[in-house]
Amino acid sequence: MQETKEAKKLVLSGIQPSGTLTLGNYLGALRNWTKMQDEYLCYYMLADLHTITVRQVPAELRQNCLKTAAIYLAAGLDPEKITLFLQSMVPAHSQLAWVLNCYAMMGELNRMTQFKDKSARHADNINGGLYTYPVLMAADILLYQADYVPVGKDQKQHVELARDIANRFNNTYSETFRIPEPIISTNTASIRSLSDPTKKMSKSESGDGTIFVLDNKDTILRKVRKAVTDSDGEIRRGEGKHGINNLMNIYSAATGKTDGEIESEFAGKGYGDFKLAVGEAIADLLGGIQQEYERYMADKAYLNRVLIEGAERASYAANKTLSKVYRKVGFYDPHK
Ligand code: ATP
Ligand code: LTN
């Protein structure tokens, strides 16, 4: 028993509790996390330290942390199997991030596309945290000696940076960090905005292009009805048919149907029929999560307990790596 436990590969991931999670967060990240919880040793966190790189309203951030924890559980994560925790409750994340800042090169950080996107969107607040955000993310991953990091496509570059930093540190001293690999599931790697399918669906976009995990059925049907498509009228994947490709990805992810099955189901039918089916499939998919979500939100004491126990377990694992790192870089410890 003990042996199999030790042989399990380790998975770490996180989502920023910067608002209500979206269908993109669910399909691109959260749903994959639930599939991994039996086979792997999983650490899933709420990346609240990351959220303050963009200004947050404090009371809303606190509430979003609780809501996101409830969504994690409602989506099927089981705190008996996984470690669920708030990043800010484990100080080792900030501590390792500082050290790793000294092993991340300006040139590397300059190439990060999320920094370029976010600084364009928040031109009045291009702060240092936004710039070093990927280093904090590297610390999140490397602290737990993660083998795998399930994320959407937009985060692949950050996981690659974590690998580069880990290799640099290991080569400078000696083997300290395990080299992590991103896991990106293909069709849901990047769910696009319904109103502008050239852009990723994102929780900080408030318009009708984003479906939130807690949207009710009417809202979902309305947003999908308004989704941007093209004029060709055929429910078939195609080069440049970003809107239809996106809806097909969503429909397939929600129902398990293949492209071929979807094409024959809608042969001779129009976009209106297809959109209605997509909307209903999403509402079915999210309906169960919403019910569970309400149940968890009604029991704040339980959510608090999960977060406290999760932070204790996470701290134990994280501190082991942190003390190794402190020793390797040469910090003096009078206890030893
Ligand atoms: P924000 O708008 O605050 O930047 P976001 O919605 O882009 O947030 P993140 O918290 O940055 O979401 O991402 C959490 C996880 O969800 C990451 O693994 C990310 O890759 C994944 N993800 C986010 N948006 C999508 C999407 N549209 N399609 C697939 N995966 C996504
Ligand atoms: N940067 C990620 C959230 C995140 C994360 C992580 C994901 C923070 N730390 C560690 C995986 C592993 C995001 O916003 N998409």
pLDDT in tens, 196-214: 999 999 988 878 999 999 9
Query: Considering 35, 81, 118, 223, which one is annotated as catalytic?
Result: 118
308 pLDDT higher than 90: yes
Distances (CA, A) of 23 to 41, 122, 189, 320: 25, 23, 12, 36
Closest CA to 153 of 181, 191, 115, 184: 184
165 CA from centroid of ligand 2 (Å): 16
- Kindly report the protein residue whose alpha carbon is nearest to atom 30 of ligand 1: 28
90 CA from centroid of ligand 2 (Å): 15
Distances (CA, A) of 183 to 12, 132, 233: 11, 23, 34
Half-sphere exposure of 140 (CA within 13 A, CB side): 31
Give buried/exposed letters for 232-245 (b at 16+ CB in 10 A, else e): eebbeeeeebbbbb
The type of residue at 10 is L
Whether 149 lines ligand 2, by a CB cut-off of 6 Å, is yes
Nearest atom in ligand 1 to the alpha carbon of residue 18 is 3
Whether 19 lines ligand 2, by a CB cut-off of 6 Å, is no
Radius of gyration of the chain (CA): 21
For range 220-249, the mean pLDDT? 94
Residue 144 structure tokens: 């737990």
Q: Measured at the alpha carbon of residue 184, what is the angle toward residues 211 and 34, in degrees to the nearest 5?
A: 70
Q: By percentage, how much of the chain surpasses pLDDT 70?
A: 98
Nearest atom in ligand 2 to the alpha carbon of residue 146 is 12
Residue 121 structure tokens: 């969107």
Question: Do the beta carbons of residue 283 and residue 217 sit within 8 Å?
Answer: yes
Q: What is the DSSP string of 107-167?
A: HHHHT-HHHHHHHHHTTT---HHHHHHHHHHHHHHHHTT-SEEE--GGGHHHHHHHHHHHH
Residue 3 structure tokens: 């042996």
In whole angstroms, give the CA distance from residue 76 to residue 138. Answer: 26
Q: What is the SS3 assignment for 219? A: helix
* 203 carries an active-site annotation: yes
Report pLDDT for 6: 63
194 CA from centroid of ligand 1 (Å): 15
- Kindly report the protein residue whose alpha carbon is nearest to atom 4 of ligand 2: 14
Residue 22 structure tokens: 């979206």
Nearest atom in ligand 2 to the alpha carbon of residue 136 is 9
pLDDT band at 5 (very low <50, low <70, confident <90, very high): low
> Ligand 1 pocket test: which of 11, 13, 15 has the largest number of ligand atoms within 8 Å of its C-beta?
15
* 324 carries an active-site annotation: no
Closest CA to 180 of 228, 212, 137, 241: 137
Residue in this structure with the two tokens 């402190």, named with its chain if needed: 326
24 CA from centroid of ligand 1 (Å): 6
Look at the chain and count its residues: 336
The type of residue at 150 is P
64 pLDDT higher than 80: yes
In whole angstroms, give the CA distance from residue 131 to residue 87. Answer: 19
pLDDT band at 1 (very low <50, low <70, confident <90, very high): very low
Nearest atom in ligand 2 to the alpha carbon of residue 12 is 12
153 CA from centroid of ligand 1 (Å): 9
* 118 carries an active-site annotation: yes
Q: What is the SS3 assignment for 15? A: strand
Whether 246 lines ligand 2, by a CB cut-off of 6 Å, is no
- Cβ-based neighbours of 248, under 8 Å, separated by 6 or more: 235, 237, 259, 262
Whether 227 lines ligand 2, by a CB cut-off of 6 Å, is no
Query: In this predicted model, what pLDDT tens digit does every residue of 87-134 receive, in sequence order?
Result: 999 999 999 999 999 999 999 999 999 998 888 988 999 999 999 999
268 CA from centroid of ligand 2 (Å): 42
Residue 333 structure tokens: 């410890």
Closest CA to 46 of 87, 76, 77: 87
Question: Do the beta carbons of residue 189 and residue 152 sit within 8 Å?
Answer: yes
pLDDT band at 169 (very low <50, low <70, confident <90, very high): very high
Whether 48 lines ligand 2, by a CB cut-off of 6 Å, is no
